[in-house]
Structures are given as structure tokens and as C-alpha cells.
Structure 1
Amino acid sequence: MVTSRVSNTTQRLPTMDTVTVEWDECYHSRGGPSVEGGAFSHIMQAARGSLEPMLPCSSAGCRGGGFEILEVVESMVSNRLEDKSGLLVCIGWEYTKGRQTAQSPCTRVISYRIGLTYRKRGDSLRHSTARKDMIGTSEA
């Protein structure tokens, strides 16, 4: 259940205060993946304890997919990083065109940038509600 995974981030990330995730879909080109426009079209901000573990995949045919952002944030917290950027591949699958029984991996890729702020020692849980701002272009 998504709700339990989301609320569990308080225990999994006790030193994190806020997280800002910016991302954009990468489009394949002959020279490799490239980001259209060069800017991040989506932004999500969350307070401690309210981080969604997965960013959704925009492919209508994707099943069980998304981008595992929580694992990246956990790695950042473990290494006490404040900023990180990179690429993530969707973990889902799609039916092969014309064959409803054959499956192939979803090939959607996002470029992301994450910024974290950490709690000061002795801070109590002062962020009891999540703040999320979804800014972006409409997904095709």
C-alpha cells in the first residue's frame, strides 16, 4: 500500500528535513539520451515523512512502472549529500506491439536533480503535513 510506504519515510530518513526533486523525460536520439529543452519541467517538494517513493512513468502502456526516487534519496542521506543529479530508468514493462502476451521493459528515462536539507540536531517533527508543488508540462 502506497500510504504505508510514504509514512514510513519518517523512520527511514530521520535526518532529512525537506527534499526537492526536479525531473524531465529524456528522449532517445542517435547520440544517446538527451533532455528536451534542457530544463526540468517537473518539480516536487516534500517535507520529511511525506516523500513519494516513486515518480510516475508517463507512458500510457507502462505496467508496474515508475522511477525509484526513494532509493536515490536514501543513498544521499547515507552519504550526507545535499545535491545529486543523474538518470533513472523506469522499472515497468509494456506489452510488445501486436502481441498481448509478450512483455518488454519500459524504456522511459528521466533526468533528475535532487536537493536535500537536513534537520538540525534536536529538531522535533515540525513538518507534520506534506507540501507538494507539481509544476510541469502536460505529459503526452
Structure 2
Amino acid sequence: MRPRKTILCVDDNEQVLSIRKFLLETRGYRVLAVTTGHEALEILRDAPLGSIDLLLCDLLLPQMDGNEVVRRGKQLHPMLPALLVSGTVTSFERASAADAFLPKGAFSPAEMLDRIRILVTRKRGPKKHVQPAVLDDIAIAS
């Protein structure tokens, strides 16, 4: 069985956060759900590099917007992919720190899951091709 991928999910709306957490956990992801950017950054500060596979964050958060959370999160974990979501489609230009952006209400859960799968795969990097073992004449003779 493959190890579960960990997603740090940030949204100040607890109902949306709960639904998103349920959706992701039923697809096999481990979800760390928090309601503020400060909580998310605390988790990232304490987490070993590479232990979190995706930052999924709402753009409009109180005190610190999602773009700032992503920017600071990438300072702590440079290879961390980030997906920002927002209820305002016009907020896309403000979402410059993220790897991807989805406008709330304009995408289906399947589209979000597909985008998450792509970002998590990208973080892991391309599959390495294993060279077939070359047998030495000496090893064959023995």
C-alpha cells in the first residue's frame, strides 16, 4: 500500500473546510485542516521538509491572505506545491504565489481532485527509469 499524501488545508469557513476534508480523506489523502494562515505556518514550521505534499488554501482569509500564506509556506518548504481557491474569480491576479488557482463554485469536486493529483505528482517528480542490470562475464562464469 502506498503511503498517504498529506494535504494542509486552510479555510476560515469551517463548513467548507469540513466538506473539503471529508472529500479528500475519502480519496485516501491525510488532511491537516486549519482555519487561519498563522496555524498553517505553525504546522509548516514544525513539519520536516517533504512531509506535506500540498498546501490547499483559500485566498481570502482574515489577518493574512492566502497568497501570503503560500509565499511564506514556500519559504519554509521550497518544493511545496500550492493550490489557491477563491470565491471571487477576479482574485486570480492576486494569486501569484500559488502553482494553481481554482475559483470557488466554478469547478466540480472531480476537477479539484484532478488538479490536486497533478500537483502532488509534480511534487514527487518524474518517475525514474531503472536501467536493466548488466551482468558481468565474471559474474556469469562464477
Q: Same fold (TM over 0.5)?
A: no
Task: Output the TM-score relative to the length of structure 1.
Answer: 0.23
Q: Quick check: which one's strand share is greater?
A: 1
Task: Output the TM-score relative to the length of structure 2.
Answer: 0.23
Q: Quick check: which one's helix share is greater?
A: 2
Structure with the bigger RCO (C-alpha within 8 Å, sep 6+) is: 1
Larger radius of gyration: 2
